[in-house]
Chain A
Amino acid sequence: MAYVPSADAHAHHEPQSFVTKYIWSQDHKVIAIQYSLTAIAVGIVALVLSGLMRVQLGMPETDLVDASAYYQFMTMHGMIMVVYLLTALFLGGFGNYLIPLMLGARDMVFPYVNMLSYWFYLLSVLVLMASFFVPGGPTGAGWTLYPPQAITGGTPGAGWGILTMLLSLAIFIVAATMGGLNYVTTVLQARARGMTLMRMPLTVWGIFIASIMALLAFPALLVAAIMMFLDATLGTSFFMPAIIAMGRELPHEGGSPLLFQHLFWFFGHPEVYIVALPAFGLVSDIISTHARKNIFGYHMMVWAIVIIGVLSFFVWAHHMYVSGMNLAFGFFFAISTLVIAVPTAIKVYNWILTLWQADIHLTVPMLFAMGFLVTFVVGGLTGLFLGNVVVDIPLADTYFVVAHFHMVMGVAPILVVFGAIYHWFPKITGRMMNDTLGQLHFWITFLGTYIIFFPMHYLGVMGMPRRYYAYEDYEFIPQSAHDLNAFITYAALVVGLAQLLFLYNMFWSAFYGRPSGGNPWRATGLEWQTPDTPPKHGNWGEKLPVVHRWPYDYNVPGVEQDFIPQNEPRPHSGTAEGEHHKAEEGRS
């Protein structure tokens, strides 16, 4: 296999002490693990909160959670899941680990900034967790934080709670910007020889476009957060209308809550795709590897990612159909929303065509990838309903919406997270995760989330509104709905507990799992061709790899082995070959 000897091999000094190696580390792999473990830790908090909410909804007689606590849990659950878990895990975790390895780089281009990115992220998480302990508790404004209620008395956590939330978001945005800067520059500047853009694994494409989107979309949230902070502390009137709360006139004048909604969703919608695009990429690579087949329509897949990325900046107002907007705008945003369905559907068809007649290995990562496909399609179809203004108006703010977004942007990406951890774990630790536990974890999680979220569609169509902490004493909610709610709660608790299987499997296997060797899935990507597993500091030893082919050479006709690594030279010395030899002589 081909490597370029590289002059910079010794420029990266191996860190010596424990602290520089594992704590103040500038190594992208260590930072990735720090990011991932932190994200999983807050994710568990969010999961516990959802369990508490479900107990309240299913067994209201327990009186475990009162109205204020319900709103606070709901808000923290939503915000943590979307921002602090999924965004951080996909970009900071998988992005950090995989980009340099998949591209044949030694590290991110700005390792110091990368390290700062993690520490800012940790700080934002700590500030967020601190909000559980401030006077009044965390904010209960809903994860959308809409003013005026977010900062008016009467909403739980309207004082300290919302301020810590805004502060934490601002710190997170700084962290995400430092990370995004690294990911984008690394993809553009640090690819190995022969790794053209159109040879990058789809994982890298997904994370790359998502990072660009994060760089453009997060500032909207930052601006909104700063303005709301000023409204709350200094009494400015960016968003706050003239308002009387609790019989007192507040110092605000005709501010515009709608302005906040625009800023929020200019961030919020792309955010959905900041989470989805990396998931799309990871799932493509998992499917291709475990189906032993090249991804169908690679170019189409790349362009679909790019087009989705661009379009998602033109649809934000579909979250505001019920805000009384001009009908012509509603029409525009409805059309652009439906147009996004086209590249998304192309991706789904291409995944299915990849599986068609493939040599499918039902490994645990593959199970999760196929679980993602099914869940994403179901969630995507209900999205088509909600994308239509007329259909959305009666369904807005019902459990139909809760079901929809949990399917597409809750469960689907989480399944990818699990699949990707099972898939790349051997590279990260050099050990396999336990297969039986993995299968069990998959089936409980996959079937369980269906049992939780599928019935919510019915509850929604029946008119059960979301964001209510109790549904007793409403005439239009029949007993059957209460029974269903109790049933959903049991399922949610089982699914929640089943995640312990995963955690146990992960920590146990990291130390005692079966040694995996360097390339247990017989995969083509560069990350599987490192000289050491787990890769050492600098990733590639003395010589940088040279890339000769795309990452999907599975089952190439006339070739014995059913996969060919990306750094395997082509049989006949074409241009790439000749230059490779030149390179080997020229650069030592």
Chain B
Amino acid sequence: MSFWVDRSHPERGTIEPTRTGDRWPGPPERPKLAMRGLLILLLPLTSMFGLLISAYVMRRHMGDWQPLPLPWQVWLSTVLLVLSSAGFEWARRAAAAGWVDDVRRGLLVAGLLALAFLGSQLWAWQQLQLAGLAVATNPASSFFTLMTGLHAVHLVAGLAAWFRTRAVLAGEAEPATVQSMVQLCAWYWHFLLAVWLVLFGVLLFLA
């Protein structure tokens, strides 16, 4: 028998050290779960891009570093991604308000802008290539390709979700499902925009 057990309140019928309140939110609901899941997914993604930036900063201090002249296309990319994110925000608000046509339009515009963003990235890479700055030419160009490349990969994954959302929207879908899916896309896009802005800032100011 435990020598420290609190014997003064036998009527409690337990030796639990604290009384905990009972605030139960109910069994898990899909939309809320999906949103929490997305937020938790952003943890490893943040960690990954953060570590990439730390590696960049450390590598930059080595002797052989030569700053990379950023191709002008990345400015274009930035504008396109901001607009794409805004398009998703439009779709998200429309979905919350139940305007199905606006959701469609918003999603379409946002997705096309995202594709345009990817195009501008390819253009930027090609531009660097032409300037004699291939992936392996110097560490700065390697980092540029790696950082933008990883970002692009995540955007492509996002486009898969965008594609599914449009498919669901085209069929008979419950408004709640649509709303949830559009919301997930929008948040993911805002996150990718934030990552892009940080990466862009790092490449620009810590060249």
Contact = CB atoms under 8 A, between A and B. Distances in A.
Contacts of B136: 230, 234-237, 251
Interface stretch (A47-55, A188-196, A486-494, A514-522): A188-196
Interface residues of B, number: 49
Given A222-B48, A571-B11, A190 B62 contact: no
Contacts of A242: 64
Contacts of A455: none
Nearest to B61: A256
**Residue of A216, A296, A576 with highest tally of chain B CB at under 10 A:** A216
A215 B47 contact: yes
Interface string A103-135: 000000110000000000000000000000000
A223 B10 CA distance: 56
A210 to B, nearest CB: 14
Nearest to B55: A259
B10 A549 contact: no
Interface of A: 6-8, 109-110, 177, 180-181, 184-185, 188-190, 193-194, 196, 198-199, 212, 215-220, 222-223, 226-227, 230, 234-238, 242, 251, 253-256, 259, 262-263, 266, 293-294, 296, 298-299, 356-359, 544, 549-550, 552-553, 555-559, 564, 570-572, 574-576, 579, 583
A406 B4 CA distance: 36
B171 interface: no
Given A199-B20, A220-B51, A557-B10, A181 B139 contact: no
A196 B25 CA distance: 11
Contacts of B63: 254
Contacts of A262: 55, 58
A237 to B, nearest CB: 6
Interface of B: 1-5, 7, 10-22, 24, 27-28, 32-33, 36-37, 40-41, 43-45, 47-48, 51-52, 55, 58-59, 62-64, 135-136, 138-139, 142-143, 146, 150
Contacts of A357: 1-3
Given A226-B150, A253-B138, A571-B11, 18 more contacts: A6-B27, A181-B37, A181-B40, A194-B24, A215-B40, A216-B44, A219-B45, A230-B136, A236-B135, A254-B62, A263-B51, A293-B2, A299-B17, A555-B1, A556-B15, A572-B11, A574-B19, A583-B24
A196 B20 contact: yes
A262 B57 CA distance: 13
Given A220-B47, A236-B135, A227 B55 contact: yes
Given A263-B55, A298-B17, A557-B10, A253 B139 contact: yes
A198 B18 contact: yes
B2 A109 contact: no
Given A357-B3, A550-B14, A230 B33 contact: no
18 contacts: A6-B27, A185-B33, A185-B37, A189-B36, A194-B22, A199-B20, A212-B43, A219-B48, A220-B47, A227-B55, A230-B142, A237-B136, A255-B139, A256-B62, A294-B15, A544-B27, A557-B7, A557-B15
A571 B13 contact: yes
Contacts of A558: 10
Nearest to A572: B11
Given A256-B59, A294-B15, A557-B5, A215 B24 contact: no
A256 B58 contact: yes
B33 A238 contact: no
Q: What 8 pairs between A and B have smallest CB-CB spacing? A: A219-B48, A254-B64, A571-B13, A236-B142, A196-B20, A550-B16, A219-B47, A558-B10
A556 B40 contact: no
A215 B47 CA distance: 8
A237 B142 contact: yes
Nearest to B4: A296
Contacts of A579: 22
A230 B45 CA distance: 20
A198 B64 contact: no
Contacts of B51: 219-220, 223, 263, 266
B16 A215 contact: no
Contacts of A238: 55, 59, 139, 142-143
A579 B143 CA distance: 58
Contacts of B17: 298-299, 550
B44 A177 contact: yes
Contacts of A227: 55, 146
A298 to B, nearest CB: 6
Contacts of B32: 189
